[in-house]
């Protein structure tokens, strides 16, 4: 057990905050609401980026980069969009500073006021659609499948490292299509891609579905999302994929000539995942001993710790440790051999455990004598003494097993915390008792959703895509319902 570390049971929110700080993932910065992502945290994000980037490219997308600043007038072009983001935009009004008249410090030069203020992008639809207008003339220019990796700013009142920060990193895909059908297919394709990434790489099972109108992206016709369940029973939206219809094409006048030589507005999608995925990853798997990272996203998958009394012993052990390191690297496994003399083995054990390194190998005098090695896995904290000769193959299998085990555990947790509920009493009781996903009937109205939110703080997380139609009565209003939706309290 790590020293001075709050357990999940004691205080889940505090456990998360301490974990992020103590595992050196990120910290608060001098700027309110903005975080510094530290090397340990950034390495995981980089790994996520590289996997997602490859997936985007494999599905025909290319990367580009659009400006950080957006002219204010662009924002007002799409009514829902501006309304959705207006309250959280940072605005640039001046372009110059000058020395203060009293000689102390520096002030904004009021003579350098911008004629048109610039918004720091909270998302890039407007600047991108203004640009696409010039790129699209004919159906031959379609589809346009572009992604960008960028930072965005949303001026949040209440922030938490990774989960909600004023500035965050993300990717945003923006595509243009000839037909509605094609755009819808793109939206669904990306949703599947996100779900696959969450499940196969992050080892987090996700629900796939549609957002209710209340939760829909400002400016979208339909928002698809993947939704994950955290260990405290709260839901976390892990990725969104929007079908934008022709809303932005109309707002920015993006028309193309069809095969029939007719002018038509293009069909659009946009989709994104952010550094919030880091929060999901941390909260899905970690425990009271610290961080747990699925092997496929760990920057260091294996650490080797030597145990020795003197230099001769260390030299002998190092020889063997380096052989094992090479054998592991030959299998594509990332390994760190920690022969620092400045920390003791026990200290290193605790440290790597807390930082979530999936597999630890320990090699000491006893192992040298018996030709063995100790292998410890982070997910179950099990330790075993194994023959040293075949350890590389064994580590490879253990890493695969950890990846699988984390997913299985997370899935079992979700299943144990998903409930079909038909009465309003039960609905409230489950929420207050243990949280989780609640499958309940809903009459389909925004009013009911709002009322439920006001009374319980729970919202509709998804309208599941694969749900079987089921006649029922709304859990709140008693009015007829065509199927169950998923409620939860959410991050």
Contact residues: RNA, CB under 7 A: 2-4, 13-14, 17, 28, 32-33, 84, 87-88, 154, 156-161, 163-166, 168, 215, 217-218, 237, 240, 274-276, 289, 307-310, 342-351, 353-354, 360, 362-368, 373-374, 376, 381, 383, 385, 453-454, 457, 490-491
The residue among 164 and 428 lying less far from RNA, judged by its C-beta, is 164
d(CA 125, CA 286): 35
**Rounded CA separation 277/368 (Å):** 42
Q: How far is the CB of 178 from RNA (least distance, A)?
A: 28
Question: Minimum distance between the CB of residue 252 and RNA, rounded to whole angstroms?
Answer: 21
At its nearest, how many Å lie between RNA and the CB of residue 472?
27
* 468: alpha, beta or left? (left if phi > 0; alpha if psi -120 to 50): beta
Compute the least distance from the CB of residue 376 to RNA, in Å. Answer: 5
Q: Compute the least distance from the CB of residue 465 to RNA, in Å.
A: 19
- Cα–Cα dist 118/154, whole Å: 14
| Closer residue to RNA, CB minimum distance, 158 or 397 | 158
Which phi and psi (to 5°) does residue 191 adopt?
-60, -45
Residue whose CB is less far from RNA, 183 or 225: 225
Exposed/middle/buried for residue 185 (C-beta within 10 Å: 0-12, 13-18, 19+): middle
Compute the least distance from the CB of residue 20 to RNA, in Å: 9
User: CB of 102: closest distance to RNA in angstroms?
Assistant: 14
Half-sphere exposure at residue 449, Cβ-oriented, CA atoms within 13 angstroms:
18
* Dist. CA 251–CA 360, nearest whole Å: 56
25 vs 373, beta carbon nearer RNA: 373
Distance of alpha carbon 7 from alpha carbon 110, whole angstroms: 52
CA distance 61 to 170: 16
Sheet holding 69-71, edge to edge: 69-71, 113-120, 91-94
Q: Closest CB to RNA among 219 and 245?
A: 219
Please give the backbone phi and psi of residue 208, each rounded to the nearest 5 degrees, phi first.
-110, 135
- Find the shortest distance in angstroms from Cβ 85 to RNA: 8
Specify whether the CB–CB gap between 166 and 151 falls below 8 A.
Answer: no
Cβ-Cβ contacts under 8 Å for 105 (sequence gap 6 or more): 99
Of 256 and 491, nearer to RNA (C-beta) is 491
Close Cβ partners of 63 (under 8 Å, ≥ 6 residues apart)? 53, 56, 146, 147, 148, 149
The DSSP code sequence of 314-357 is: HHHHHHHHHHHHHHHHHTT--EEE---SSS-HHHHHHHHHHHT-
Q: Which residues contact 330 (CB under 8 A, 6 or more apart)?
A: 392
Helix (H, G, I), strand (E, B) or coil at 184: helix
Least CB distance from residue 277 to RNA, whole Å? Answer: 9
Nearer to RNA, 365 or 472 (CB): 365
Both tokens assigned to 400: 């695969």
Q: Is 130 or 374 the residue whose CB approaches RNA more closely? A: 374
Question: Which residue, 27 or 470, is less far from RNA as judged by CB?
Answer: 27
Q: Which is closer to RNA, CB of 20 or CB of 438?
A: 20
User: Shortest gap between Cβ of 471 and RNA (angstroms)?
Assistant: 30
């Amino acid at each position: 057990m790590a020293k001075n570390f709050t357990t999940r049971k004691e205080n889940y929110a505090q456990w998360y905050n301490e974990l992020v700080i103590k595992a050196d993932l990120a910290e608060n910065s001098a700027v309110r609401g903005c975080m510094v992502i530290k090397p340990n945290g950034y390495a995981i994000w980089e790994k996520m980026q590289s996997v997602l980037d490859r997936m985007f490219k494999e599905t025909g997308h290319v990367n580009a980069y659009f400006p950080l600043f957006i002219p204010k007038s662009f924002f007002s072009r799409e009514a829902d969009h501006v309304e959705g983001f207006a309250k959280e935009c940072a605005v640039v009004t001046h372009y110059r500073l000058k020395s203060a008249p009293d000689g102390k410090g520096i002030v904004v030069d009021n003579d350098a006021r911008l004629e048109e203020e610039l918004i720091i992008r909270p998302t890039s639809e407007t600047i991108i659609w203004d640009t696409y207008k010039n790129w699209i003339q004919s159906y031959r220019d379609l589809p346009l499948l572009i992604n960008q990796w960028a930072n965005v700013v949303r001026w949040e009142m209440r922030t938490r490292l990774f989960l909600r920060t004023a500035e965050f990193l993300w990717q945003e895909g923006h595509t243009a299509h000839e037909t509605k059908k094609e755009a819808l297919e793109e939206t669904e394709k990306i949703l599947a891609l996100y779900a696959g990434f969450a499940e196969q790489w992050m080892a987090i099972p996700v629900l796939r579905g549609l957002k209710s109108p209340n939760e829909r992206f400002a400016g979208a016709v339909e928002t698809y999302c993947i939704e994950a369940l955290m260990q405290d029973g709260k839901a976390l939206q892990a990725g969104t994929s929007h079908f934008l219809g022709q809303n932005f094409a109309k707002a920015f006048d993006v028309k193309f000539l069809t095969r029939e030589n007719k002018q038509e507005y293009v069909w659009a999608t946009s989709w994104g995942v952010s550094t919030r995925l880091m929060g999901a990853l941390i909260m899905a798997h970690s425990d009271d001993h610290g961080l747990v990272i699925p092997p496929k996203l760990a920057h260091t998958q294996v650490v080797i710790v030597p145990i020795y009394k003197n230099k001769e012993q260390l030299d002998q052990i190092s020889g063997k440790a380096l052989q094992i390191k090479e054998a592991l690297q030959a299998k594509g496994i990332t390994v760190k051999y920690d022969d620092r003399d400045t920390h003791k083995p026990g200290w290193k054990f605790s440290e790597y455990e807390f930082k979530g390194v999936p597999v630890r190998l320990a090699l000491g005098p006893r192992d040298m004598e018996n030709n063995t090695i100790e292998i410890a896995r982070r997910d179950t904290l099990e330790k075993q003494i194994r023959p040293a000769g075949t350890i590389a193959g064994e580590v490879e299998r253990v890493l695969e097993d950890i990846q699988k085990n984390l997913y299985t555990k997370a899935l079992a947790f979700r299943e144990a915390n998903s409930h079909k509920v038909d009465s309003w009493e039960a609905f409230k009781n489950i929420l207050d008792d243990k949280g989780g996903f609640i499958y309940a009937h809903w009459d389909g109205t925004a009013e009911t959703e709002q009322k439920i939110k006001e009374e319980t703080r729970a919202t509709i997380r998804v309208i599941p895509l694969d749900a079987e139609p089921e006649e029922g009565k709304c859990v709140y209003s008693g009015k007829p319902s065509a199927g169950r939706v998923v409620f939860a309290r959410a991050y």
